[in-house]
Amino acid sequence: MKRGRRKKAGTREWLAAIVMVAGLFALTGEERWLDELRGLLPAAAASNEVAGTASVIDGDTLDIHGTRVRLHGIDAPEGRQTCGARGRTWRCGQQAALALSDRIGRAPVTCRQRDVDRYGRVVATCYQGDLNLNAWMVRQGWAVAYRQYGRDYIPDEEAAKAAGRGVWSGPFLMPWDWRRRQG
């Protein structure tokens, strides 16, 4: 009678388990837990990253070596969009893009892909070192939490709003409402 050997759980089995747990967290919209789990994945499984020097296209879009990257879960004012503050109008969309550009400078950025949008852009959470740039934009008031696509940045938005930072310094239209009005 042949004796069977009990096989140890290999990389494939561990990877499958991690993917299943990550899927459960994705259903709850908890990106911070997903980021923790991604750190457990072997390097080969982390190939959905885009990294390098980024050019800012607008307050929620980057270009890294020819790849357009849309920042997941946030929506920044459009380039031509204006906002109000203290009785005057200012170009909040342009300021949002400049704030992101100033924050990034020439330092490398790493974006972890989550999806691809209908325009073919990579949808990702982007980091400069350990700093989550998506969260930073919302926390500084240069973008809002895009609730249609996730709830990750609602606490950051609430903090920016309470402090009157960025677009929250006066009246403004949510970017999706501004786009709808433009036709």
DSSP SS3 for 8:
coil
Query: Is 70 tagged catalytic?
Result: yes
Check 31, 70, 112, 114 and give the catalytic one.
Answer: 70
Residue 134's closest CA among 181, 182, 70? 70
Check 31, 78, 112, 139 and give the catalytic one.
Answer: 78
Scored b (16 or more CB within 10 A) or e, 129-166 reads eeebbbbbbbbbbbbbbbbebbebbeebbeebeeeeeb
Query: Is 49 tagged catalytic?
Result: no
In this structure, are residues 60 and 92 in contact, taking their beta carbons and an 8 Å threshold? no
In this structure, are residues 123 and 134 in contact, taking their beta carbons and an 8 Å threshold? no
Check 112, 114, 121, 139 and give the catalytic one.
Answer: 121
Q: List active site positions.
A: 70, 78, 121
